[in-house]
Amino acid sequence: LSDEAVIFLSHIAIYRDAMDKSALEILNPYLPEIGEPDLPPLPVYYPNPLEDHRFSDTQSKLDTPSNLHQAWLESLEERKSKRLAYHEAYQQSERYQDALAQFNQMLNELQQRGLLIGNEEQTKFDMHPVIRGYAFDQFKQQSNEVRTSVYNKVRDHFAAIPPSEIEQQVQQPSD
């Protein structure tokens, strides 16, 4: 097995049950770093513009809390749209597409070796309990930074799922 496949197995061992492919993709060891888009700063409220040397004409609209609130909402919407555009461009990039192809190859290899079990549609994957136990032991031996990073990726993935989708998954038990 490649080093990436061994690391991947140890990372997915934190899941207790069968996983959707999307839950596995977040731990894809081939993905390039996404980075962060260049976002405009959020507006700041200056209570007394005459005494504040940082005050400028563009901030004169922010001389009341209600104006600041509106400016914040507009700025947050702009930041959101820029972040979405950045992520869409990232997912269309050649590097990202290559990483997905490598990931799918790795999943196929792990299934052929019997280390990962997929359903017929290749949408859910599971590990034998003995393999999961060994892989989890390998995961526990990794550094705190690596473990924290993996846990954060998993947490962020599930936090982004709308509650309605989670309810559907609970009502329709896995295969």
Q: What is the pLDDT of residues 18-73, one digit of tens each?
A: 888 888 888 889 988 777 777 767 666 555 555 555 555 554 554 555 666 777 77
Angle at 94 between CA 88 and CA 99, to 5 degrees: 95
Distance CA 140, CA 137 (A): 5
**Whose CA is closest to 43, among 34, 55, 32, 53?**
55
- Is 98's pLDDT higher than 90? yes
Q: What is the pLDDT of residues 124-164, one digit of tens each?
A: 899 988 999 999 999 999 999 999 999 988 888 888 888 77
As given in the structure block, the two tokens for residue 156 are 């962020």
Q: What is residue 124's three-state secondary structure?
A: strand
